[in-house]
Amino acid sequence: MASDIPQEPLPEWRGEIERLWAKVSRGVSASPGLEAPIGPSLDAPESSSTAWETLSLMRRKHRGEAQAWSEMLEAKEKEIATLRDRQRLLENEISGLRRQVQSAEENSLEGYLDVQARMEAALASLKEERQRHEEDERRLRALLEQTRHRMSGEADIWKKERKSWERKEEKYLAQMKEMESLTQARQEDAARASGDSEKLAQSLKEAKNALEKTLAELLRERQVREGAEKERSEALKKVDEVQRHFEELSKIWEEERAQWRELWDRERSTWETQRAEFSAWEEKLRRERQSWHADLKAKEEDHLRFASQMAETLRQSTETTSKIQSVLRTVALLGLPPERRRVSRRIWAGLAAAVVFAAAAVPVWKYYTAFHFKAVAEIPASLANPTGMAYDGAKIWVSQWNGELDAFNPLDLQAAPAVFTPNAKPPYHPVSIVSADGSLWTADAAQARLVRVEDSDPGQVAATLPAQGPAPTAMAYDGKAVWCYDAANRSFDRYGKNGSVQSYGLGNAVPTSLLWVSGKLWAFDSKARKLDVYDFKDGAFSLRAAYDLGKTVLGMTAVTMNGQRQLWILAAPSGGSSVPSFVKFRY
């Protein structure tokens, strides 16, 4: 709007008009040197007067236009200020709307969570309502059947009574006709015989009384029939009401049935998807198993080559030793002085010892830097379906598939444990457990989440955290953060206290139990059935060694008893045993 205003078009024109006005007002003529009085005079020529009036008119017009332009500029500036104020108001309104939208989004999220909780409660209430509906339906069906039987019986009775009333009515009508014919005959007889008029009058009176009695009986029977009809209509109304109620209940049942069918279809599609994922996972495991067998075969060949190289090295060191001894004997035969001879022997003996030590240093180093696990005890455990084990410094905790957390006394593992059931939102199926700073963390495979309870109150859920993947299988605690392995996306995730999550890889291993020991990660690989030891350096895990414990590990923990380091595992049933067991290893 402000761009339509010309940008300072008047200064040059205004100066020219002012100059001409000054000339005319001073009476300056075209020739220099002539002076004229201010304003038009009588002696000035007519053309000068006309020019002066013209310039005066132009000046007034110029002043009017200049005033119009200035007013227009002021109006435009006012409009621009108004538009700026309106822009500020609109910006404030937009910021307010943004805050409202953010608040509405938060409220909608809270509403969604609330609706989800209500939906779950509604499903439970629908299930109860369905049971009540089935019970009401059974009672109503029984009542309807009883009512039908009773109504059919009453209908038969009313039909019989109606037929009886119709027969009585026909009988009364016949009697009335007979009375009328008798009356007519009496009247004819009275007409024929006036002497018998009194008798006929008496007979007529009797006939009239009999007719009145008959009519009264008919009236009473009609009233009884009307009452019966009224009762019958009321009974039919009740039957219709029961029928309508039954139809409404049937309609509600059909709606609930449709809802349950929809829920079933949804659950079925979810299970079909999960089954397809598990099928793909099994196929992937099969391929990995084949790859693992190929790797194992290659490692065995490497070990065989290493053993042959060690044997060759020992053979060469033996030959070198014999050669050194022969050289020493040759030097002795050359007649060296005894002092030089002893020094040479020491040098060559040292060289031989160095060669032998270098050949044997590698296997000796490997032996003394490796762990040596020795089973010292095995205790049967009366557990239905255990999934994990953890030690909090005072109790041994075992998670079970049915959602229970069992607390064992480490000094008496055969004693009955204390059983706790966290009030987690169902379904809840923990597959691993870990102790961390006075809390117990479990990995829930049913809803892909991490559930935290306190040691002091294991039955109360303190917090839940969604897992990074859809299939959490094992957990560990390194003293600072909780770790969780997901079998679907094959990632080992570290959950920081600030809410951050970092993901790492463990190669082709499929761990089902994890444990941090002295900065190293111990993982039981369910595919190779071995205990893998990993070094964690520069943000990556590298396999250091693998050990065969001879057991399938469901859970494990490190315990120090009487100054001795021990590895306790929860082993799956094996051999002739049908129950899991606690196995203690010294290492």
Residue 465 is predicted with a pLDDT of 93
| Structural domain boundaries in the chain | 2-110, 142-274, 301-369, 374-586
* Average of per-residue pLDDT across 540-560: 91
Other CB atoms within 10 Å distance of the CB of residue 39: 13
CA atoms within 13 A on the CB side of 409: 5
* Average of per-residue pLDDT across 258-285: 73
- Inform me whether the pLDDT recorded for 346 exceeds 70: no
Cis preceding-peptide flag for 410 (omega within 30 of 0): no
- Inform me whether the pLDDT recorded for 24 exceeds 80: no
- Inform me whether the pLDDT recorded for 385 exceeds 50: yes
Residue 495 is predicted with a pLDDT of 94
* Average of per-residue pLDDT across 458-472: 92
- Give me the residue label for tokens 């600030």: 498
Residue 56 burial class via C-beta count within 10 angstroms: exposed 0-12, middle 13-18, buried 19 and up: middle
- Inform me whether the pLDDT recorded for 37 exceeds 70: no
More confident residue, 323 or 387: 387
Closest CA to 461 of 475, 450, 472: 450
Least confident interval from 207-216, 446-455, 578-587: 207-216
What band does 330 get if pLDDT is binned at 50, 70 and 90?
A: low
What band does 2 get if pLDDT is binned at 50, 70 and 90?
A: very low
Residue 485 is predicted with a pLDDT of 95
More confident residue, 314 or 228: 228
**pLDDT digit string, tens, across residues 444-453:** 998 999 999 9
How many angstroms separate the CA atoms of 459 and 388, rounded? Answer: 18
**3 state SS for 261-301:** HHHHHHHHHHHHHHHHHHHHHHHHHHHHHHHHHHHHHHHHH
* Average of per-residue pLDDT across 83-107: 85
**pLDDT digit string, tens, across residues 412-437:** 999 999 999 999 998 999 999 999 98
Residue 21 is predicted with a pLDDT of 62
Residue 298 is predicted with a pLDDT of 75
What band does 20 get if pLDDT is binned at 50, 70 and 90?
A: low
Q: Which CATH superfamily is domain 374-586 in?
A: YVTN repeat-like/Quinoprotein amine dehydrogenase (2.130.10.10)
* Average of per-residue pLDDT across 218-243: 81
Residues in the chain, total: 587
- Inform me whether the pLDDT recorded for 209 exceeds 90: no
More confident residue, 291 or 552: 552
pTM: 0.43
